[in-house]
Structure 1
Amino acid sequence: MNYQTFEPHTDLAPLVSCYWTLEVPAQKEPERQRIIPDGCIEMAFILGDDIKRYTSKDEFILQPRAMVLGQTIQPFYIEPTGYVNTFAIRFYPYGFANFVAIPIKDLANKETPLGELFEENKAKELEQKIIQAKDSKQRIEIIEEFLLAKLNNKTIIDNIVKQTIDALLSTNGTASISTILKDDLSKRRQLERNFIKQIGVSPKQLGKVIRLQTALKMLLNKKAENLTNIAYQSEYFDQAHFIKDFKEFTGINPKEFLGNENMALSSHFYK
């Protein structure tokens, strides 16, 4: 498995977290991989063989080969049908809303083909350029030209939404909404409404995902001796609270996560 990340252009850095590539040789018996919510929206191009996304235990769809994966609040399984070769753009929680006119909530918990978000001909042209590019450097140049051309200065993320996300990110998801807004109920209603529209999930849900990501990285990088220390350093009320949230977003408990073959891909993504 070859997973690499690349930094965005400085003009896009406030909106784009990174570009990433993933290559995995075809396997005789591919393992389903459980993908965990990370609070981000991603645009992905499948350059290898098709990838299944399971909608139930035995039913699946084939992911669009050029798509945007919206905010997710539950884990889901994917499974390669052969050789994996993916190029993707990971946006910050408030990043992608600057490139499209539709409410971000409409993208939540599903894959949306690029042709439904941008002009069909332009989306197809972009996909073909990405496919025909000779390497990751050229693909990054192509997607950055596209994104910079699409960047709409009139599309401004609500200031309260951005302040809330910045506060959640700077505190690893532990800041309370009441503290951020200083108990201003009128602002809270506005925040809830605009957050769902522009981010795709509620402030509370995003905060829980960000805090879990902090704990998950500590678990993967062995930066704490045990689950109790991870829970304490991640500011969970106690170990039971940490395990409850972990199960909610991953479907298993922390001890089962480590060494689980179904979590190999997520382990690479979130280290």
Structure 2
Amino acid sequence: MNYQTFKPHNDLRSIVKFYWTLEVLFDPKNQKQKIVPDGCIEMTFNFGDKIKRYTSETNFILHPNAMVMGQRTKSFNILPVGNVNTFAICFYPIGFANLVEIPLENLVDKETPISGLFEQAEAYELEQQMVQAIDTQERIDIIETFLLKKLNKKNTISHIVKSTVDTLLKTNGTTPINVLLKDDISKRRQLERHFKKQIGISPKQLSKAIRLQATLNLLLNKKSETLTAIAYESEYFDQNHFIKDFKDFVGVTPKEFVNNEHMSLSALFYKEIL
């Protein structure tokens, strides 16, 4: 696997976390790979062979070549049918709502072709430019021109959403939502409504995804030696609580995740976070 990450232009750093590329040569022995929620929306361009996303143990759909993957509330399995050659934009939780007008709850747990989110002519032109680009830097230049143009036309994220997301990111999802809102029921309803539209999922779901992301980083980079230490550092009530939350999101326990051949792609992503 050849996985690389790239930082965005300064004018986009508030909405784009990073760009990434992945190249993998086909191997008939390749296993399904489990992808876990990370609290981010991604726009991906596939220049290689098709990629399956499994909807059950045996049933699958094929990813569109140019698509947006909305917020994810559960893990899922993918398997390329041939060579992988992908370029992707990883948006911060508050990032993608600055580019489109539709409620982002419509995109949750789905792969949506970019032609369904932007004008068909501009979506087609963007996809063709990305396909014809000679290297990654040219693709970054193309996508940044597109994003900056779209940003100039769109509204910004509401203050209550932005401040909540900022706090969740700073605290790795450990701050309870009721603490953020000081148990104000009216604010909670307002936040839930805005989150569904501008993030796609609830504040609690995003908090869990961000916390999981930080926990996986600790687990894979061995910054904490034991599960108890990881649970403590991630501010779980105890190790059992940590293991339960982890299994609910990932589908396996933390011990089963490490060195699992079905998790190698997720492990690669989390080890290489910028």
Runs of 4+ aligned structure 1 residues displaced above 6 Å come to none
CA distance in 2, matches of 1:35, 1:43: 15
Q: Report SS of the residue matched to 2:12.
A: coil
Question: What's 2:17 paired with?
Answer: 17
1:186 Cα deviation after fit: 1.4
Measure the CA separation in 1 of the matches of 2:256 and 2:103: 37
Q: Distance in 1 between matches of 2:143 and 2:171?
A: 31
Structure 1 equivalent of residue 231 of structure 2: 231
What are the Cα deviations for residues 2-33 of structure 1, in whole angstroms up to 9, with x where unaligned? 10000001111000000000000111222110
| Distance in 2 separating the partners of 1:254 and 1:21 | 27
Are residue 138 (structure 1) and residue 135 (structure 2) matched?
A: no
Counterparts of 1:189 and 1:153 in 2: how far apart (Å)?
28
Q: Distance in 2 between matches of 1:129 and 1:213?
A: 32
Note the 1:167-186 alignment, pairs <5 A: 167-186=167-186
Q: How does 1:43-54 map to 2 (within 5 A)?
A: 43-54=43-54
Partner of 1:104: 104
2:211 partner letter? R
Q: Secondary structure at the match of 1:11?
A: helix
Q: How far off is 1:153 after superposition?
A: 5.3
Change (3 A) 1:251 1:116: same
Residue identity opposite 2:103 in structure 1? P
Structure 1 position 183, deviation (Å) = 2.2
- Kindly provide the amino acid, as one letter, of the partner of residue 109 in structure 2: N
2:31/2:262 contact within 8 Å kept: yes
Q: How far 1:197 sits from its partner (Å)?
A: 1.1
Deviation at 1:206, TM superposition (A): 0.6
1: CA distance between counterparts of 2:37 and 2:245? 12
Distance (whole Å) between structure 2 residues aligned to residue 141 and residue 185 of structure 1 = 45
How far apart, in 2, do the equivalents of 1:268 and 1:195 lie?
29
Shift of 1:182: 2.0
1:41-80 per-position Cα deviation (integer Å, ceiling 9, x unaligned): 0000001111000011100011000000000010000001
Where in structure 2 are the equivalents of 1:1-271 lying within 5 Å? Answer: 1-152=1-152, 154-271=154-271
1 CA distance for matches of 2:28 and 2:34?
19
Assess if the C-alpha contact under 8 Å between 1:17 and 1:91 holds in 2: yes
Shift of 1:126: 0.5
C-alpha separation in 2, matches of 1:19 and 1:52? 22
3-state DSSP class of the match of 2:168?
helix
Query: Could you tell me how far 1:155 is from its partner in structure 2?
Result: 1.2
SS at match of 1:58: coil
Q: Deviations over 1:66-119 (max 9, x none)?
A: 000000010000001110000000000010000001001100001000000001
Helix, strand or coil at the partner of 1:87: strand
> Offset at 1:179?
1.6
Aligned CA distance change for structure 1 residues 20 and 154 (closer, same or farther; 3 Å): closer
Residue pair 1:99, 1:152 contacting (<8 A) in 2 also: no
TM-score by length of 1: 0.98
Deviation, 1:212, is 1.2
In structure 2, the gaps of 5 or more residues are: none
Range moving further from structure 2, 21-30 or 74-83: 21-30
One-letter identity of the residue aligned with 1:171: T
Paired with 1:154 and 1:185, the residues of 2 have a C-alpha distance of: 30
| CA distance in structure 1 between the aligned counterparts of 2:59 and 2:227, rounded to whole angstroms | 35
Residues 157-203 of structure 1: per-residue CA shift (max 9 Å, x gap): 11001100001011110111122122222111100111111101100
